Amino acid sequence: MNNLITLNNGVTIPSVGFGVFQSAPAETAAAVETALKAGYRHIDTAAGYGNEREVGDGIRRSGIDPAEVVIETKVWVSDYGFDETLHAFDKSATKLGVSRIDVLILHQPMPQHFARTVQAYHALERLLEDGQVGAIGVSNFMPHHLAALREQTQIVPAINQVELHPYFTQTAVQKADAELGIVTQAWSPIGGITFYPGWGENRKSVMDDETIAGIAAGHGKTPAQVMLRWHLQQGRSVIPKSTNPERIAQNIDLFDFELTTAELTAIDRLDRGVRGGPDPDEVDPSTWNVEIPEAETPTSTTKGS
């Protein structure tokens, strides 16, 4: 079971999607297949994750009609620019094995090259107008990036996907999104970024937080489920990542309990105001030196017109 969230252009997506950030290509197809069989109908990937092809494979392997699955992917910054982003759509669609992408978003603002970011967004607007994508949006946009984008573009993003978990609640971003009618979508919704190996020292894992553990014990749920329920009750879309079948199932089993207002507030108060991921103002094409390969071998079309 899953609730639906209606985007600002009327398109609906399940509130709980499945994330594949840092899922190795070899594991991704199996994880996606498991997730779809467990009831997920929304997969979030990115050209920059290098596993779009395996996401497509997992969908096909599940036997579930691809038309029932919301596929979301992201254009990487090295593909920004109008023509470059149109081509990025082709690369992603081919790797995923679809002719239409449900949700296509810009992976990051590129503040040092904002004109190219705007051109990339203009390409998303064109793809939306042409019916090649169902909804468009952004990721890691702070309020000042959203304001700058809005000044130069027509279509309000449907989604802004940002780092958001109990230790980094991004209230200013949430407010800016809400004012514009943008759905805030949480990446690292259970705080994976606070415990991923190799992503910074001296971090405290939100998964070990005592307040969350206490709330979880009171409901007979896990800390991950409490965090995900907190997002859902506050209207956010979530895309928890796991490659473990038990945890994949657990992360969508969220609809038989409800947090009280006091519990939601207690979780809100855990915010430390410190991000775990990169500062969006500092990302440019050299940050990870990632180039998105061409999709040399087209796969057969399985979705869309």
Nearer to ligand A2P, 245 or 304 (CB): 245
Nearest distance in Å: CB 159, ligand A2P: 17
Nearer to ligand A2P, 108 or 243 (CB): 243
| Backbone torsion region of residue 130, taken as left when φ is above 0, otherwise alpha when ψ lies between -120 and 50, otherwise beta | alpha
Nearer to ligand A2P, 161 or 242 (CB): 242
> Would residue 196 show up in a list of annotated catalytic residues for this protein?
no
The only residue of 216, 251, 259, 292 in contact with ligand A2P, by rule CB under 6 A? 251
Instruction: Give the containing element (helix H, strand E) for 61.
Output: helix 52-62
The residue whose Cβ lies closest to ligand A2P is 192
The only residue of 19, 58, 166, 276 in contact with ligand A2P, by rule CB under 6 A? 19
Nearest distance in Å: CB 97, ligand A2P: 24
Token pair 């497509």: residue: 56
Question: Applying CB under 6 A, which part among 129-137, 176-184, 237-245, 297-305 lies near ligand A2P?
Answer: 237-245
User: What are the strands of the beta sheet with 133-139, ordered from one edge?
Assistant: 18-19, 42-44, 70-75, 101-106, 133-139, 159-163, 183-187, 237-238
Q: Are 300 and 59 in contact (CB under 8 A)?
A: no
Of 183-212, which residues contact ligand A2P (CB under 6 A)?
188-193, 207
Nearest distance in Å: CB 77, ligand A2P: 21
Task: Identify the active-site residue in 49, 80, 121, 167.
Answer: 49
Count of residues near ligand A2P by CB under 6 A: 18
CA distance 269 to 116: 38
Q: Per rule CB under 6 A, is residue 224 in the interface with ligand A2P?
A: yes
Supply φ then ψ for residue 159, to 5 degrees.
Answer: -140, 145
Q: Look at strands 70-75 and 159-163 and give their pairing.
A: unpaired
User: Is residue 198 helix, strand or coil?
Assistant: coil
CA distance 142 to 272: 17
Q: Per rule CB under 6 A, is residue 242 in the interface with ligand A2P?
A: yes
Residues contributing to the site for ligand A2P (CB under 6 A): 19, 188-193, 207, 222, 224, 240-244, 247, 250-251
Catalytic residues, by residue number, are 49
